[in-house]
């Protein structure tokens, strides 16, 4: 039985849940509610970040042992909420431009965040399942939010069908785990002796992981990523590629570390290499900036899996650092694309997302071009920026676990990736626009530029002094 | 061999559920697919009764067949997919590959299940008869499992908001 | 007394038929129904485990799965309708702006 006072055991979750529901009421009862809702969402996300820090170093089991507060979980939640804060700040401008400025957008966004938080904190496979589905259902709707665009519809349908198909596998895995251990509680499941000598348990865990690898977009389950990110509203693509992935990683990483799945190290290593190879090589041929960033996010999932294969304490820190850096740079790049995108003129397609549009951007719009260059350099892993240190820590973690070959292959593949990031940069600064008539429909409102500046500050500050991050998140191990 | 009603019922229900599932994926018209799926759900709810899960069996009929499948039928009829050309499907090597893949999946699953659980459970648990009652389930749902129950309500709320936004909201 | 294996095998057969349906069929609504079949077969596994283990969590899990199936059906059919308004088709071979 849950008592009323227990609701205050986890204030960030309470804040997010309350705001997600309350926004719906604001929309009904307040006229011209969009601005009110926008401000309300920003305040509630900021206060959720603030209150998350209250739970550091408190190992608690709450809500009838359904949720377990641990330090890594809090770190992941803070990273996700930061990403969501930047997304929300940049959303207003984009939604107004596309004439879809509805309060429901913010409500669904917060429900998705609620799902992510539940999933990361879960101590029971039923709760993992509900959190995952809450997140996914909100994502399906958000991907299809631009209802008048065919691409958005198709992206949503594709994501929905493939996502539900994979949910089936996750669920079958959970059913087998429940059948063999007799419980859905993760603490009880972990306490069973000799789990990995039982091949039903192995099949169950394998099915479970297949579903989560799909959500993260690891080879061979990456095929949906470019299409869905291309079809989704640009700001939603940014959120899917950061917060959505981080939530899935934050859920499986503690499971991998607790079960100590060293037997599967080879599988994770091969998956990491295949993912990096696929993402970096296919990205070279892309002519659409959203698809290019989608492939870059596949490659990033590969780098993260180098850390997962390492499976040591250093890898945990490295993954957390990389995810924080990745949130800033990937989200920042998507926000720039969303700002430069042409506003809705009744056509049923996205405009100004071809790479050719970026030719000569440096002359037309230097501020946006400088920001974009920073993010691309960071994604490419060029030294003074956060992306470089992220990759450095992940590869270093792999070397610590005697996986020198893995980190060597990873470094070579990430060097291939430098090519296409530099290609965009060269387009922006060193080529002239072919089409003179191109005009930037950029009305940089206060919030759009603030959100990007936040991401730029994160990329540079964490890049110049990575120790700052480890001081802030010293509780992670 | 002694004739047992339970054994007969099990095989009757299991075989008819499998046949209706195969019929469902092979029908050309979505309406007949939906009707065969309803038949499949009905037979599975019979299997729940054999497992002494009375309440789940009732819920299966009410929610799955009564709500979800009616929604499906309603949408199929709303979209008016009468025009046969709109659901013409081609047969290709891809389909044979996918059929082989699913047979492989079945072999893996059945192998694991058969060898993993043979002899693990002697018989149905004595408590099984009580577990399936609405009384027991209700009591558990509102005490020990109240947290997942509340979360499920938020999931439904999010889905309602999402469905209304996608299907009804007026766009300029 | 029927052994648990028979229930589990029935469920595995239904699950594989559902998977085959998702991979073979091209009509979005039929694919959707195949996914419902998959979820339903998993429910059978869960109920069987619940009865043989004598533990209630399996049956509660079935409730949650049914809730999720209903929620996904609502959202999914809304997406199908939105797509049909724009495209006049639910055949995923014709959904070709984004390559499948």
pLDDT of residue B81: 63
pLDDT of residue C91: 67
- Out of A140, A157, A182, name the one closest to residue C55 (CB): A182
Of A400, A143, A376, A112, nearest to A248 (Cα)?
Answer: A112
pLDDT of residue C100: 43
Query: Smallest CA–CA separation between A161 and chain C, in Å?
Result: 7
Contact B59 C63 (CB under 8 A): yes
Is residue B100 within 8 Å of C23, Cβ to Cβ?
no
- Residue C15 CA to residue C17 CA, distance in Å, equals 5
Q: Which helix (H) or strand (E) holds A69?
A: strand A67-69
Contact C15 A164 (CB under 8 A): no
- Residue A246 CA to residue A119 CA, distance in Å, equals 11
Contact B25 C74 (CB under 8 A): no
Cβ neighbours of residue A397 under 8 Å, at least 6 residues apart?
A306, A307, A310, A312, A314, A315, A317, A318
> Which subunits sit against B, judged by 3+ Cβ pairs under 8 A?
A, C
Q: Which helix (H) or strand (E) holds A62?
A: strand A60-62
ipTM > 0.90?
yes
pLDDT of residue B123: 74
Residue C82 CB-half CA count within 13 A: 33
| Residue range C30-87, pLDDT digits in tens | 889 999 999 999 999 999 999 988 889 999 999 999 999 999 999 999 998 888 887 7
Residue in chain B nearest C62 by alpha carbon: B56
C62 at A interface, C-beta within 8 A: no
Cβ neighbours of residue B148 under 8 Å, at least 6 residues apart?
A66, A124, A126, A127, A130, C60, C64
Is residue C27 within 8 Å of B30, Cβ to Cβ?
yes
Contact C97 A151 (CB under 8 A): yes
Residue in chain A nearest C47 by alpha carbon: A175
Which chain B residues touch C54 with a CB distance below 8 Å? 125-128, 131
Query: Smallest CA–CA separation between C39 and chain A, in Å?
Result: 6
Which chain B residues touch A126 with a CB distance below 8 Å? 148
Contact B128 C84 (CB under 8 A): no
- Residue A427 CA to residue A358 CA, distance in Å, equals 6
> Which subunits sit against A, judged by 3+ Cβ pairs under 8 A?
B, C
- Out of A111, A126, A141, name the one closest to residue B166 (CB): A141
A224: its two tokens? 């949906």
3-state DSSP helix/strand/coil percent for chain B, to nearest 5?
75, 0, 25
Bridging pattern class, strands A60-62 and A67-69: antiparallel
Cα C25 off chain centre by: 14
- DSSP-derived secondary structure letter, A55: G
Query: Smallest CA–CA separation between B44 and chain C, in Å?
Result: 7
Of A274, A200, A265, nearest to A398 (Cα)?
Answer: A265
Scanning A157-186 for CB atoms below 8 A from C yields 157-158, 160-161, 164-165, 167-168, 171-172, 174-176, 178-179, 182-184
The tens place of each residue's pLDDT in chain B, 172 residues long, gives 567 888 899 999 999 999 999 999 888 888 899 999 999 999 999 999 999 899 999 999 998 888 888 888 888 888 876 555 545 555 667 777 878 888 888 888 888 777 777 767 777 777 777 888 888 889 988 888 989 999 999 999 999 999 998 887 665 5
B79: its two tokens? 């979209």
Scanning C17-56 for CB atoms below 8 A from A yields 18-19, 22, 28, 31-32, 35, 38-39, 42, 45-46, 49, 53, 55
A interface mutation test: which of C5, C9, C22, C42 has the most A CBs within 10 A?
A: C42
Is C88 a residue whose pLDDT tops 50?
yes
- Residue A296 CA to residue A279 CA, distance in Å, equals 6
- Residue B17 CA to residue A424 CA, distance in Å, equals 56
Residue in chain C nearest A161 by alpha carbon: C32
| Residue range A19-62, pLDDT digits in tens | 999 999 998 888 888 889 999 999 999 999 999 888 888 888 88
Give this prediction's pTM.
0.93
Contact C77 B124 (CB under 8 A): no
Query: Smallest CA–CA separation between C71 and chain A, in Å?
Result: 8
Which chain C residues touch A178 with a CB distance below 8 Å? 46, 49, 57-58, 61
Cα A459 off chain centre by: 16
Which chain A residues touch B166 with a CB distance below 8 Å? 141, 144-145, 147
Q: Which ranges of B51-167 would DSSP assign to H, the alpha helix? A: 54-59, 69-79, 93-117, 128-131, 134-142, 146-167
- Out of C69, C78, C93, name the one closest to residue B167 (CB): C78
Residue in chain B nearest C21 by alpha carbon: B25
Contact A118 B151 (CB under 8 A): yes
Which chain B residues touch A146 with a CB distance below 8 Å? none
Band (pLDDT 50/70/90 cuts) for residue C99 is: very low
Which chain B residues touch A20 with a CB distance below 8 Å? 154, 158
Query: Smallest CA–CA separation between A217 and chain B, in Å?
Result: 21
Low-confidence ranges of chain A (pLDDT < 50): none
Which chain A residues touch B102 with a CB distance below 8 Å? none
Contact C29 B72 (CB under 8 A): yes
Contact C34 B25 (CB under 8 A): yes
B158: its two tokens? 């999010």
- Out of C42, C57, C79, name the one closest to residue A168 (CB): C42
Other C-beta atoms lying within 10 Å of the C-beta of residue A313:
13
- Out of A133, A150, A168, name the one closest to residue C87 (CB): A150
- Out of B7, B44, B106, name the one closest to residue C44 (CB): B44
Is residue C75 within 8 Å of A137, Cβ to Cβ?
yes
Residue in chain B nearest A24 by alpha carbon: B161
- Out of C57, C82, C86, name the one closest to residue A183 (CB): C57
Residue in chain A nearest B120 by alpha carbon: A180
Cβ neighbours of residue A197 under 8 Å, at least 6 residues apart?
none
Is C98 a residue whose pLDDT tops 50?
no
| Residue range C6-29, pLDDT digits in tens | 898 999 999 999 999 888 887 888
- Out of B144, B151, B161, name the one closest to residue A64 (CB): B144
Cα A247 off chain centre by: 7
- Residue A180 CA to residue C52 CA, distance in Å, equals 11
Is the peptide bond preceding residue A354 cis, with omega within 30 degrees of 0?
no
Looking at CATH, the fold of the domain delimited by C4-87 is given as Helix Hairpins (1.10.287)
- Out of B108, B148, B161, name the one closest to residue A107 (CB): B161
């Amino acid at each position: 039985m849950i008592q009323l006072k227990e609701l205050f055991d986890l204030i960030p979750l309470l804040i997010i849940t309350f705001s997600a529901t309350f926004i719906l009421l604001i929309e009904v009862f307040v006229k011209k509610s969009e601005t009110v809702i926008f401000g309300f969402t920003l305040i509630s996300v900021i206060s959720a970040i603030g209150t998350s820090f209250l739970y550091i170093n408190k190992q608690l089991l709450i809500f009838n042992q359904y949720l377990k507060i641990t330090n890594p979980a809090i770190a992941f939640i803070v990273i996700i909420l930061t990403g969501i804060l930047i997304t929300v700040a940049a959303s207003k401008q984009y939604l107004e431009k596309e004439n879809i400025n509805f309060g429901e957008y913010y409500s669904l966004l917060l429900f998705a965040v609620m799902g992510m938080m539940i999933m990361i904190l879960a101590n029971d496979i039923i709760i993992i399942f509900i959190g995952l589905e809450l997140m996914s259902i909100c994502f399906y709707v958000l991907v299809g939010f631009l209802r008048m665009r065919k691409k958005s519809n198709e992206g949503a349908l594709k994501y929905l069908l493939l996502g539900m198909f994979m949910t089936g596998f996750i669920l079958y895995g959970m059913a087998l785990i429940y059948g063999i251990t007799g419980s859905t509680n993760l603490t009880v499941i972990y306490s069973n002796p000799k789990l990995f000598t039982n091949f039903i348990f192995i099949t169950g865990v394998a099915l479970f992981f297949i579903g989560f690898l799909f959500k993260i977009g690891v080879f061979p389950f990456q095929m949906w990523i470019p299409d869905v990110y291309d079809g989704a509203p640009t700001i939603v693509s940014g959120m899917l590629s950061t917060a959505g992935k981080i939530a899935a990683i934050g859920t499986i990483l503690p499971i991998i570390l607790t079960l100590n799945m060293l037997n599967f190290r080879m599988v994770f290593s091969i998956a990491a290499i295949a993912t990096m190879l696929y993402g970096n090589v296919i990205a070279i041929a892309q002519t659409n900036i959203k698809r290019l960033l989608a492939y870059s996010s596949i490659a990033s999932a590969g780098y993260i899996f180098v850390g997962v294969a390492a499976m040591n304490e250093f890898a945990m820190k490295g993954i957390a650092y990389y995810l924080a850096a990745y949130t800033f740079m990937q989200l920042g790049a998507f926000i720039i694309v969303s700002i430069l995108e042409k506003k809705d003129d009744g056509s049923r397609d996205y405009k100004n997302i071809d790479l050719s549009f970026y030719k000569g951007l440096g002359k037309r719009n230097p501020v946006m071009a400088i920001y974009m260059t920073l993010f691309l350099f960071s994604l490419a892993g060029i030294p003074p920026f956060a992306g470089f240190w992220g990759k450095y820590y992940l590869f270093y973690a792999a070397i610590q676990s005697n996986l020198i070959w893995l980190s060597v292959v990873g470094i070579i593949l990430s060097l291939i990736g430098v090519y296409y990031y530099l290609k965009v940069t060269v387009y922006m600064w060193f080529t002239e626009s072919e089409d003179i008539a191109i005009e930037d429909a950029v009305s940089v409102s206060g919030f759009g530029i603030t959100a990007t500046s936040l991401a730029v500050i994160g990329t540079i500050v964490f890049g110049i002094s990575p120790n700052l991050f480890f001081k802030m998140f010293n509780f992670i191990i | 061999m002694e004739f047992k009603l339970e054994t007969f019922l099990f095989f009757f229900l299991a075989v008819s559920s499998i046949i209706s599932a195969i019929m469902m994926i092979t029908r050309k018209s979505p309406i007949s697919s939906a009707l065969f799926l309803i038949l499949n759900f009905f037979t599975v709810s019979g299997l729940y009764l054999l497992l002494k899960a009375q309440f789940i069996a009732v819920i299966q009929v009410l929610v799955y067949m009564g709500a979800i499948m009616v929604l499906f039928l309603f949408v199929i009829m709303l979209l008016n997919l009468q025009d046969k050309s709109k659901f013409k499907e081609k047969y290709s090597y891809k389909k044979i590959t996918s059929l082989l893949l699913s047979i492989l999946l079945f072999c893996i699953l059945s192998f694991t299940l058969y060898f993993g659980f043979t002899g693990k459970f002697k018989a149905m648990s004595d408590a099984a008869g009580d577990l399936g009652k609405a009384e027991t389930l209700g009591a558990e749902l509102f005490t020990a499992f109240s947290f997942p129950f509340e979360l499920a309500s938020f999931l439904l709320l999010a889905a309602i908001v999402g469905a209304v936004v996608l299907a009804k909201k007026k766009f300029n | 007394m029927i052994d648990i294996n028979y229930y589990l095998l029935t469920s595995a057969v239904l699950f594989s038929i559902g998977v085959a349906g998702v991979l073979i069929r091209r009509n979005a609504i039929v694919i959707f129904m195949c996914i419902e079949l998959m979820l339903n077969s998993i429910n059978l596994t869960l109920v069987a485990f619940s009865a043989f283990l004598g533990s209630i969590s399996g049956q509660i899990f079935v409730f949650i799965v049914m809730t999720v199936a209903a929620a996904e059906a609502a959202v999914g059919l809304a997406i199908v309708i939105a797509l049909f308004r724009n495209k006049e088709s639910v055949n995923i071979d014709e959904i070709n702006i984004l390559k499948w």
